[in-house]
Amino acid sequence: MTDVEYDVGDDVIAVVEDTELPRRLREKVYETVEKRNATLEQADEIARAVENQYLQTRIDPLDPVGTVSAQSIGEPGTQLTMNTFHYAGVAEIDVTQGLPRLIELVDARKTPDTPMMTVYLEDEYAREREKAHEVVWKIEATQILALGDVSTNVADMRVQISLNKDTLEERMITAEEVADIIEDNLGVKTVQQGTTVEFGPEEPSYRELLQLVEELRDITFKGIEEVSRVVIRREEMDDGNEEFVLYTEGSAFGDVLSIEGVDASRTTTNNIHEIHRNLGIEAAREAIIEETHNTLAEQGLDDVNVRHLMLVADMMTNRGEIESIGRHGISGSKDSVLARAAFEVTVNHLLNAAIHGEVDDLDGVTENVIVGKPIKLGTGDVDLRMGSTSGRQAD
């Protein structure tokens, strides 16, 4: 027996638990019964009425739910922006929105156009700005230009870096470390003295010198290479307290989760593949629903029933990995040749099917429309016979 938090009699609980209602609706019934002080009979009547209504609003057998979902997402989709609006949403970070984002999600692109993470922090890291900054330096990629000035001495064929002492301290990196990283990455000998680091090509060569400077700029001295920018924001939590939240441009979900101070239970990314890789298929499903819903909601189209988005996410994650909707994904892996040919690149599908001697069982909708037979949906899949149930009573 489930726990019922409401102050209603055991009889009422027995009556309500006996219905086919899902838990959320049962709770509502309990709430009403408690508030209205309904008698057992009234409670019974309420429960029955609600159950009746619930059963009536359920999807009928053989209803084409996929088609309905496609229409229900497609129609409001016509009202989505076709352009990417920059610097919208949270914390002046550039995020793809509207139709491009929706397409990117259902196409299951390997990386989104504008990857970003929302990084939540733990304990004192979330409360103190200093501590939050510590995490920022561990995430944001630090290049040489952020640490100091680079100059090329063409006469001596040397690259000279004069590092900024305050920046070094702030980002918690020493001049020695900088020199070591340069040696490891460029394979040159460096001379480090105080806050200046100097190096040059082995053989004096102007081209090689410029090459070195070029490569030096690409080295990530600290932080995660993929993350180009981090924005700190102070946000109110549900309990009224405030916490620091980081928004990043660029995403490296797996790396960030294991950084000290990062709350690995709330931090997310808008890259559904990274979620899949690090948290599994169920989390990916959840993320797809969340992202598609937010994309629609951002444009004021959140009256699209979430069940449609859930169906899309279910289909995309059905085989244990993220599949795109479309030719390369779900539609392309249908059993029926005719259904695939009807979708895209018709000739290729027919040709390949002919070469391999494929057989079409004509089970699906598209195939049957093509050959002009009734489709197996709705009344099309119900056979009726009259008067042959000898003696058996209909119930």
Partner 1 sequence: MVDVSQHELVPEHTVLEEDELEDVLAEYDIDRTDLPKIKRTDPALPDEAEIGDVIEIVRDSRTTDQAVVYRLVVD
Per DSSP (E only), the strands in 12-62 are none
Report the alpha-carbon angle 65-71-75, nearest 5.
155
3-state helix, strand, coil in the chain (%, to 5): 50, 10, 40
Q: Using the rule CB under 8 A, which residue among 1, 3, 20, 23 binds partner 1?
A: 23
In the complex, minimum distance from the CB of residue 374 to partner 1, in angstroms, rounded to a whole number: 24
Distance between CA atoms of 262 and 248, rounded to whole angstroms? 13
Which positions ≥6 away from 334 have C-beta within 8 Å? 340, 364
| Binding of residue 335 to partner 1 (CB under 8 A) | no
In the complex, minimum distance from the CB of residue 57 to partner 1, in angstroms, rounded to a whole number: 12
In the complex, minimum distance from the CB of residue 152 to partner 1, in angstroms, rounded to a whole number: 43
Distance between CA atoms of 168 and 196, rounded to whole angstroms? 12
- Nearest CA to 188 among 261, 196, 197? 197
In the complex, minimum distance from the CB of residue 280 to partner 1, in angstroms, rounded to a whole number: 3
As a dihedral over the C-alpha atoms of residue 258, residue 264, residue 267, residue 272, rounded to 10 degrees, the angle is 70
- Nearest CA to 162 among 171, 175, 180? 175
In the complex, minimum distance from the CB of residue 270 to partner 1, in angstroms, rounded to a whole number: 13
Residues of this chain, 254-313, that bind partner 1 according to CB under 8 A: 257-258, 264-266, 268, 275, 277-283, 286-287, 289, 306-307, 310
Rg of the chain over Cα atoms, rounded to whole angstroms, equals: 31
What are φ and ψ of residue 63, in 5° steps?
Answer: -80, 135
Under 8 Å between Cβ of 326 and 106: yes
CB-wise, 119 or 212, nearer to partner 1? Answer: 119
In the complex, minimum distance from the CB of residue 118 to partner 1, in angstroms, rounded to a whole number: 12
Tokens 């979620």 correspond to: 275
CB-wise, 22 or 387, nearer to partner 1? Answer: 22
Distance between CA atoms of 243 and 122, rounded to whole angstroms? 9
Which positions ≥6 away from 2 have C-beta within 8 Å? 17, 23
| Binding of residue 235 to partner 1 (CB under 8 A) | no
CB-wise, 310 or 353, nearer to partner 1? Answer: 310
Distance between CA atoms of 180 and 48, rounded to whole angstroms? 75
CB-wise, 131 or 307, nearer to partner 1? Answer: 307
Structure tokens at 80: 């989505």
Structure tokens at 379: 């009344």
- The site for partner 1, by CB under 8 A, has a size of 30
CB-wise, 24 or 356, nearer to partner 1? Answer: 24
In the complex, minimum distance from the CB of residue 394 to partner 1, in angstroms, rounded to a whole number: 22
In the complex, minimum distance from the CB of residue 135 to partner 1, in angstroms, rounded to a whole number: 15
CB-wise, 21 or 227, nearer to partner 1? Answer: 21
In the complex, minimum distance from the CB of residue 348 to partner 1, in angstroms, rounded to a whole number: 28
Q: Using the rule CB under 8 A, which residue among 320, 357, 372, 387 binds partner 1?
A: 320
| Binding of residue 314 to partner 1 (CB under 8 A) | yes
CB-wise, 320 or 391, nearer to partner 1? Answer: 320
Q: Using the rule CB under 8 A, which residue among 317, 336, 366, 368 binds partner 1?
A: 317
Residues of this chain, 3-22, that bind partner 1 according to CB under 8 A: 22
CB-wise, 45 or 335, nearer to partner 1? Answer: 335
Report the alpha-carbon angle 55-60-61, nearest 5.
125
CB-wise, 179 or 252, nearer to partner 1? Answer: 252
In the complex, minimum distance from the CB of residue 329 to partner 1, in angstroms, rounded to a whole number: 15
Distance of CA 340 to the CA centre of its chain: 28
- Three-state DSSP at 116 gives strand
CB-wise, 126 or 209, nearer to partner 1? Answer: 126
The binding site for partner 1 (CB under 8 A) comprises: 22-24, 27, 257-258, 264-266, 268, 275, 277-283, 286-287, 289, 306-307, 310, 314, 317-321
